[in-house]
Structure formats: structure tokens, C-alpha cells
Amino acid sequence: MRHPGGDPLTRRRRFLALSRHAETPRQLLLELNPEGTDYIPLPDEVEEDLQAIWDPLRMVLDDAPQKLTRDDIVSEWPPDLAKPSPASLWRCLRRAVDRGLLACEGTGKRSDPFRYWLPEREAAWREQNPLYDELEKQCRDLNLPFISLKEKRRRLSQSASIRMPASKGGRWRRERFRSKRGVERRSFTTVSAQR
């Protein structure tokens, strides 16, 4: 039995159980009644969070073009709805994976973050890209780092902002300079071929 945290005078307690029987719940949140004679089961906060977040989360994952990290999910969250806190989103994702509502892969490290998706979305991705399974296998075999949707969009906008030189005879010259904050930046300028 553990104190659930928060209010030190609460009559709530979290009971943890280990059993060889599958029907035994791993944990229960119970509250002592006002008379102090019996415990009343309470809904778990994670369950309430999952129910509150599930509809917008499903909407985000339904429209996903690839597997999404937690940062991707937050950045794709509908603007007219309040974004969940990172901790509650993490708890809800973990609970949804435990229930089989979502699929998850990754180790949770920076180079291999957890990625979440709806299992039924893989069929749509396979229809869009016939080589989907081969590309996934190749990424796993070569241990390639995962590129999040947020990073892909950032790279795409960067590459769209770089323009080719206006003159035919121009060529690229890379210049490096330091900004006021000391961060190295690169700029591209065209240099005429005629000197």
C-alpha cells in the first residue's frame, strides 16, 4: 500500500498486487470511507487522462504520414484543443500501448525515440508505398537513425529556402560566420564566373 502523492491528508491509497493469476489487477486506487470502515474503489487518474486525450490523439494518429514521436504528436495536436502536458501524454501513450490500442517501437533514447502509430495505419502506408516493408526492414538492419516528422518538415523548409544562383555562370561559395551569440552559421552567395 502506498500514498498516491499530492494532498498529505488524503484518505486515498494505491494498492499494488503481485499474483500468478491474470485477473488480479496490478494496482488499485482506493479511498477510505468517511466512517473509516471500508475502502471504495476509485477510477485511476491515468484512465481518466486516457479518456480525455484519446479522441484528439486518435485524430492526430489517423492523419499521420509516418510513425510519430511524442514531440510530433504535440506539434500535430489540433490548435483548437488544449495540448496535454508531456507527462500525461506519456502516461496515456503507455497505457494505450499496454491495451493494444497503439503500436510502439524504439528504445526511448535520443537516436531511437519511441514511435507511436495506430496498427491499422500500416495498411494505408503499404498502399501508398509498395516498398514500405522493405524500407522499414532496411532501416532496422542498417540501424539508421529515425527522422521525426518535425525534423523532416524543418529540413524540407530549409531546402526550399535555398535558391539556385540567378546567373548562368555563377557558382556557389560557402561562407561561414559567427553570429552575435557565437553560433556558427552558413550562408550561400553566388560568385560570378567572370573575374
Give the pLDDT score at 52: 76
Residues contacting 145, CB < 8 A, separation 6+: 111, 112
Containing H/E element for 122?
helix 121-128
Is 102 within 8 Å of 96 (Cβ atoms)?
A: yes
Rounded Cα–Cα distance for residues 154 and 65 (Å): 15
Q: What are the domain boundaries of the chain?
A: 12-42, 46-149
Q: What is the pLDDT of residues 93-137, one digit of tens each?
A: 988 898 888 999 999 988 889 999 999 999 999 999 889 899 889
Predicted local confidence at residue 62, as pLDDT: 93
Q: Residue 39 — pLDDT band, cuts 50, 70, 90?
A: confident
**C-alpha pair distances (Å), 165 with each of 159, 161, 194:** 14, 12, 14
With cut-offs at 50, 70 and 90, classify the pLDDT of residue 68.
very high
pLDDT for residue 73 is more than 90: yes
Cβ neighbors of 26 (< 8 A, separation 6 or more) are 16, 17
Task: Give the span between the Cα atoms of 15 and 41, in whole angstroms.
Answer: 10
First to last CA, the chain: 82
User: Under 8 Å CB-to-CB from 60, ≥6 apart: which residues?
Assistant: 68, 73, 76, 77, 78
**CATH hierarchy code of domain 46-149:** 1.10.10.10
Confidence (pTM): 0.60
Could you give the dihedral angle defined by the CA atoms of residues 103, 108, 111 and 112, in that order, rounded to the nearest 10 degrees? -20
Q: Are strands 115-117 and 103-105 parallel, antiparallel or unpaired?
A: antiparallel
Closest CA to 156 of 29, 65, 81, 82: 65
Q: What is the pLDDT of residue 6?
A: 60
Containing H/E element for 82?
A: none
